[in-house]
Every structure is written in C-alpha cells, then in structure tokens.
Amino acid sequence: MSKSHTWSQDFKITKADRALKKQQQPMCIWFTGLSGSGKSTLIDALEVYLHKKHYHTYVLDGDNLRNGLCDDLSFSNKDRDENLRRAGEVARLMVDAGLIVLAGFISPTLEQRTKIRGLFHKNEFIEVYVSTALEVCEQRDTKGLYAKARAGEIKDFSGVNSVFEVPTCPEIIIDTKTASIEQSILELIAQLKL
Amino acid sequence: MSKSHTWSQDFKITKADRALKKQQQPMCIWFTGLSGSGKSTLIDALEVYLHKKHYHTYVLDGDNLRNGLCDDLSFSNKDRDENLRRAGEVARLMVDAGLIVLAGFISPTLEQRTKIRGLFHKNEFIEVYVSTALEVCEQRDTKGLYAKARAGEIKDFSGVNSVFEVPTCPEIIIDTKTASIEQSILELIAQLKL
C-alpha cells in the first residue's frame, strides 16, 4: 500500500470555524534559546497570563514529547532533528485545532527553525529568541547540565560542545539578563500584541 | 545526553484548568473498523453536532498524520504500528490540552488498541467499533482500495490479506449497514451521553 492511497477527506468543521468559536487567532509561539536562558519560565508566565485572558493555550516542550511521542528517540544529532520535526508537526496540528501553542525547544540551528516556520502560515508563527548569554545560562545552571557537559558527561550540548546558531530574524528577542522576569513578561506580551 | 536528563517541569496551567474553562470533559473517541466501514462519515457528522453544541473537537486520521508527522513512515506492518503509536500519543497531548479528539484509524489489532487505550485515564477513552461487515465495506469500495487489494496491488490490507481482530470490549458498537447514517449518528450520540 503506497502513499498514493491516502487522500484528503474534507471534514466540515475547519480551522476557521474553531478559531471563530474560540475568538482567538491560533498560532505557534516558538521559543528558542540556550538551556537555562529562561524559555520555560517565560512560557509558564505567559500561559498563566493568557489563561486569565481566556485564551486557550498548550505548552509543547521536551518534557511532554520525550516522555511519549518521542520516547523512541535518543539525543544523537539525527534524533534531535527528528524530535524537533515532530514537535513542529504536532504544533501545526494543534494550531489547526485552534490553539495558541507555546513551544519551548533549544532548537539550535537555523535550518531546524526555518523548516518549522515553513509548516505555518505567515501570521501563525512567532519566533521568540531568548537571547540570554551563554555565561549567564552557565552560571545559573539550575539543572546542572552545563557542569556535566563541561565534564564531558553530556555530548552535543548546545553552547558548550555543539553549535547554537543565533536566530537571524526572530519576531521577538528577550534577554532575561538585562530585565527582571516581570519586565521580560510584560515586554513579551506587549510585543505579541495579544 | 541520556534520557535521564529530561525532567518534569510543573507548569501552572493544568488539564483541569483548561477543562474547567472549556466546560467539557476532554476525551479521545477512537473509531476502529475496516476501510469503508463508515468511520469518517460518522466522525464528520459527530464533529458537526459537537461543534454546534459548543464543544471543542479535533479530528485525527490518516490524512492529517500521513501528510505531516508520519510522512517518514511506509505502510509496512512495523511502520503502521508506529503510525498508530504516534496517533495515540498526539491524541493524548490533545486530550491534555482539553480537547475532545475524534480519531479514525482502522487499527486492526487488539494489541494496538490496547496500547492506545493504556495512554488515557479510564474515563477519557471511548472505543467505537464501526462493525460494518467486510462484504458491505467491499461492496461500497468508494476508494477502490478493496479492488486493488484483491488484485494484489495493495499488501496487508485489513480484511483482505491482513488480519482485522474484532474488538472484544468496545464501549460502543455501530453497524452502518443495519441503520441509516442519521440513525447511526443518533445512536452514537445517545451512547456517548454528551
């Protein structure tokens, strides 16, 4: 049975129907940045804010993907690519379902992020680069991962022994070093124009 | 970097928060049955009904998965297993997001369906067996797939040259042969108790 045997069945309820009912513009807000840069903290605070405003959101991150959909994948570069591809595809389905998706992934390369952006319509994808410097992230090291990476216990750790390519055209840039978390959130919300 | 480096971060907005806001019980309604049994027709009609009642639904099926998340998979038995595993995991994420997921997959084996059921809490998973007999499905053959399978052009086609194991304990059984589509829908809605 080849792929030519799939076909597109038109269901009657569309993304537009769901968006209209929810009175929100479905979109994917994709947070990229080093480990420890503050992605999860920002996402958490943004979700609380959006929930209070009656938006319907969902968070996608390494936790809920690695423990289920992607639990067949290792942390090799190839499998990390596949992890991100699946994250992007799930985000796309959820945007199609009418949700505002908050996705937090280091997503270290331009190619990975460009591919993911390509899954969405222009007004449905917002890239937020959490630009906190490596030195700051490493100093925080709340999860102890930088220490392990420096000790050689973790391979391919972005910023230490693997590349992190700085985003060239993110919609929003947030540096959690130069502002408090409250200021960062306010700035993020202002720029999102929600 | 081994899997032990993932950890569970507690975001503040939970499934219960989303369900409360949406005033609906998130769940996965999983339709199993032969090709041509009427799964998509039932799902389509049910979604229109639920949308009118202000429920927030989403349809998962071979179309929207095979053209994105699962476009790396073939139709070998192994890849069909993986396709269903991913379908189940995406449904789980969407139920976690507060949605009522209508999933339509032949899902021919008891083992596949049991694994998927195991991803959900007891009250979050409803298996609908669309029990329309093979003869009826084959006579309809709206997609011409049975003819191709009989001609040997499609391998592993459930009911023809691959097993379809009849569900042993589905919550709901619908036979689209013995009732009109309108009657089938009404019966389905009545049994769902939504």
Pairing of strands A100-104, A125-130: unpaired
> What is d(CA A106, CA A84) in angstroms, rounded to the nearest whole number?
9
Given a cut of 70, whether residue B8 has pLDDT beyond it is no
Are residues B13 and A99, on separate chains, in Cβ contact within 8 Å? no
For A:124-183, CB contacts with B below 8 A are 143, 145, 148, 154-157
> What is d(CA A91, CA A110) in angstroms, rounded to the nearest whole number?
18
A66 touches chain B (CB under 8 A): yes
> What is d(CA A62, CA A70) in angstroms, rounded to the nearest whole number?
9
Mean of the per-residue pLDDT values for chain B? 89
DSSP A53-100: TT--EEEEEHHHHHTTTTTT--SSHHHHHHHHHHHHHHHHHHHHTT-E
> What is d(CA B131, CA B173) in angstroms, rounded to the nearest whole number?
6
pLDDT, tens digit, for every residue of B14-31? 877 877 777 789 999 999
Q: What is the mean pLDDT of residues A81-85?
A: 97
> What is d(CA A2, CA B4) in angstroms, rounded to the nearest whole number?
38
Q: In this complex, which of A72, A89, A98 lies closest to B69 when CB atoms are compared?
A: A89
- Asked if residues A34 and A134 have their Cβ atoms less than 8 Å apart, the reply is yes
Residue at token pair 């090291």: A141
CB-count burial class (<10 Å; 0-12, 13-18, 19+) for B169: exposed
pLDDT, tens digit, for every residue of B87-122? 999 999 999 999 999 999 999 999 999 999 999 999
pLDDT, tens digit, for every residue of A167-179? 999 999 998 888 8
Q: What is the mean pLDDT of residues B67-83?
A: 93
> What is d(CA A183, CA A190) in angstroms, rounded to the nearest whole number?
10
Mean of the per-residue pLDDT values for chain A? 89
Q: pLDDT value at position B19?
A: 74
Q: pLDDT value at position B6?
A: 42
- Asked if residues B79 and B73 have their Cβ atoms less than 8 Å apart, the reply is yes
Q: pLDDT value at position B10?
A: 54
Give the DSSP H/E element, type plus range, for residue A173. strand A172-174
Given a cut of 70, whether residue B7 has pLDDT beyond it is no
Residue B125 is given by DSSP the state E
Are residues B56 and A157, on separate chains, in Cβ contact within 8 Å? no
Q: In this complex, which of A21, A48, A54 lies closest to B12 when CB atoms are compared?
A: A48
The model's confidence at residue B11, banded by pLDDT at 50, 70 and 90, is: low
Give the DSSP H/E element, type plus range, for residue A184. helix A181-192
pLDDT, tens digit, for every residue of B118-151? 999 999 999 999 999 999 999 999 889 999 999 9
Amino acid at A79: D
> What is d(CA A79, CA A88) in angstroms, rounded to the nearest whole number?
14
Q: pLDDT value at position B136?
A: 94
Q: Which domains does chain B have, with CATH numbers?
A: 21-192 (3.40.50.300)
Given a cut of 90, whether residue A61 has pLDDT beyond it is yes
Q: pLDDT value at position B3?
A: 38
For the entire predicted model, the pTM comes to 0.89
Given a cut of 80, whether residue A12 has pLDDT beyond it is no
CA distances from A69 to A42, A111, B115, B144 (A): 24, 22, 13, 33
Q: What is the mean pLDDT of residues A35-48?
A: 92
Look up the ipTM and state it.
0.88
Q: What is the mean pLDDT of residues A160-185?
A: 90
Which of A48-57, A98-107, B15-24, B159-168 has the weakest average pLDDT?
B15-24
Q: In this complex, which of A56, A96, A119 lies closest to B18 when CB atoms are compared?
A: A56
Sheet containing A27-32, strands listed edge to edge, beginning at the edge strand earlier in sequence: A57-61, A100-104, A27-32, A125-130, A172-174
